[in-house]
Chain A
Amino acid sequence: MSIVTMFEYDFMVNAFEAATIVAVAASLVGYFLVLRGQTFAGHALSHVGFAGATGAVLAGVSPLLGLLVATVLAGAGMGFLGERFQHRDVAIGIVLAMSLGCGLLFLHFFTAYATQATALLFGNVLGVDAPTVLALLALGILIIAALAFISRPLLFATLQPELAEAKGVSLRRLSMLFLVIVALATAASVQIVGILLVFTLMVAPAAAAQRVTIKLWPGLLLSVGLALVEAWLGLTLAYYTDWPTSFWITAIGAAIYMLALSISRQKHVSEYRHEHHHHDEDQVWRPAMTGSRKPKRLSARGEEITARARPISSSSHEH
C-alpha cells in the first residue's frame, strides 16, 4: 500500500480536501480564540450546534443548516452578553450540557438516526461528498475573509481593550463578530471531527503555536501548519490502521501540544540559564577555580532553574 493508492479512492480525496480547508480556517480562528482566553466558550458553541443539527433533522431540514443557525445565534448572543459572561465557566457549562440534552431529546423523537448522531458527535470525514467539499470551501473562504477583515481591531481589543475602546473600537460589536466567525468555523470543523472534538482542531494547534513562538505572524502560520499536520497525518493513519480518523486527529493534536509544552519549557530553561550565566559570571567562575565545586554548583543551579520554570509553564494551560 502506498500513498498513491490512498488517493485512488474518491472518498479519501474528498476527505483530504475537506480536512485541509477546515484545518486552515479553524486554526486561524483558534489562534485568536486562544489569545482571547475564550476556548471554553468556543467549545460550548459546538455543543449548541448539536441541538441545532438534531433539531434540524427532526424538522426535516439539513443538519448542516441547523448547526450553522444554532452556533451563529449562540455566538452572537454570547458576544452580546459580553466579556463577563464569556468568562463564566459555570454558566457556559450549563448551556453546553443543556444543549447536549436537547440534542438527545430530538434524537429520541427521531430514532432512525443513530449513525447520523455518531457522525455529528464524532465526525465522519470519510463520508464527506464532493458537494460538501464545495460548501466547506465557500464557508472556509468566508471565515478567513471575515477574520482577516476584523483581525487588526480584534488584536487591539484583545490585548488592550481599554485603549481600543478609547480609540473608538466597539468591543461588544467586535466580540459578537468574532464569535459568529468562531461559530462558522465550528460548524465547518464538525464535518471533520464532530461536535465533541472541535477543540482538537481549533485549539490544540493554536495553543501549541503560541507555546513555541511569541511572534504574531510566525504564530499564525505555525498554527496553520500544525493543524494541517494533524489533519493529514490523522487521515493517513486512519487509512492504514482502519481506526477512526477523529481518534487519530485528537491523538496527534494532544501529541503536538505536549511537544510544544516541552519545547517551550526547554527554551525557557535555556534562556534563563543563558541570562543567569551572563549575570553572575564571576560567581560561576570563582568556584570553578577551586576545582570540584563547579559541577555541584551547576547541578544545583539546574534544579533551581527547572523549579522556577515549571509553575510559569503549567499555570497557563488553563486559559
Chain B
Amino acid sequence: MEALAFSDVTLELGGRAILSRVSFAIEEGEFVGLLGPNGAGKTTLLRALLGLVPATTGNIRVFAGPPGAADASLGYMPQTRSSSVGSRLSGWDFVACAANGQRFGLPILDKALRFDVDRAIALVDAADLSRRPLIELSGGERQRLLLAQALLGKPRLLLLDEPLISLDLHHQKSIVSLVSELNRELKLTVLFSAHEINPLIGVIDRVLYLGNRQAAIGTADEVITSPVLSRLYGTEIDVVRVQGRVFVMAGAYEIERDEHRHDV
C-alpha cells in the first residue's frame, strides 16, 4: 500500500515554484532518503505532507487521504534552531511537551500519555538522557530526544528534516542506525532528508532527489548518476564511486560536501 503519493504536484513559496508538476509514490515500510541542494524544496515537501503548504496543481495523498487529515499517523522532526538548548528542564519534560502540546490547559499528562512518552524515549534508547537537563546534552543526544518526540502517538510515517545536520560522524551513524532499526522493527515508513547520501548508503531503500524544481526517485544506483543529477542540478555533474562511497562533483567541487558546510 502507498504511504504517500504526489501526482503532478506544484509547490510554491512566496509565488516562486519550488517543485513543478512532480509525481512519485512511496510504499509503506520504505526508508527513503530525501536529498537535494539547499533550497531544492526538501523542507517544503515535508511541510506539504503535513498539510502546511498547499499544492497549487495536482494532489498529494497521505495514507490515501489529503495531507493534514492523517496527522496522527505522521511523526515530524523539524529542523531545529537551537532555541531550547539553554533550557534547564529535563529531557523527559522536553519530549513530553510535544504530547498533545497544542491543546490549551495545564501541561499535565494522563497515564496513557506518560506511558507514550516513556515508550518513545525507550525506543530511541534515551532513558539516561531523559533524566538530564537539556543544557547539558550534546547535539547528537538532543537529536535522539527530537526523534523520540516524533515517535509520540505511534505514527506510521516519519518525516525527518535534516536529522544529521551539524553532527559528527559518530553521531550521524548512531542516528541513521537508530532510524533504520525503527523502520525495520516498527514497520515505519521513513522519509529522511539529508545533504549527503553517504551516511545513508546501505540503509535506505530508495532515494528521492530534488533539484531544479524536479524530482527523481529510485535506488541510489539509479538516481545518483551523472545524467540524472546533471538534470536536477542544471549543470554538468560527475558521480564518482569509491569503495561504496559516492562523491557528487560539479567540475572541481564536491557538491554535497559543500552544501553541508554552508549550514554548519
Contacts and interface: CB of A to CB of B under 8 A. Distances in A.
Contact of A149 (B84, B86, B97, B104): B104
A160 B132 contact: no
A163 B98 contact: yes
B245 interface: no
B235 interface: no
Contact of B90 (A153, A166, A215): A215
B101 A169 contact: yes
Contacts of B78: 162-163, 166
Contact of A319 (B86, B98, B133, B136): B86
Interface string A152-172: 110110111111101111000
Of the listed residues A151, A156, A169, the one surrounded by the most CB atoms of chain B closer than 10 A to its CB is A156
B89 A163 contact: no
Interface residues of A, number: 30
Interface string B17-56: 0000000000000000000000000000001001010000
Contacts of B135: 312, 316
Interface residues of B, number: 36
Given A169-B102, A316-B135, A156 B97 contact: yes
Interface in A94-139: none
Q: Which residue among B89, B90, B92, B98 has the maximum number of chain A CB atoms within 10 Å of its CB? A: B89
Contact of B93 (A149, A151, A161, A216): A216
B105 A316 contact: no
A152 B52 contact: no
Interface of A: 35, 37, 148-153, 155-156, 158-164, 166-169, 210-211, 214-216, 219, 312, 316, 319
29 contacts: A35-B87, A148-B105, A150-B104, A153-B101, A153-B103, A155-B97, A158-B97, A159-B84, A159-B89, A159-B97, A159-B134, A160-B98, A160-B149, A161-B83, A162-B79, A164-B98, A164-B101, A166-B52, A167-B101, A169-B102, A210-B88, A210-B89, A214-B132, A214-B133, A215-B90, A216-B107, A219-B89, A312-B135, A316-B135
Interface of B: 47, 50, 52, 71, 76-81, 83-84, 86-90, 92-94, 97-98, 100-107, 132-136, 149
- Which 5 A/B pairs are nearest by Cβ-Cβ distance? A156-B101, A162-B78, A214-B90, A152-B107, A214-B133
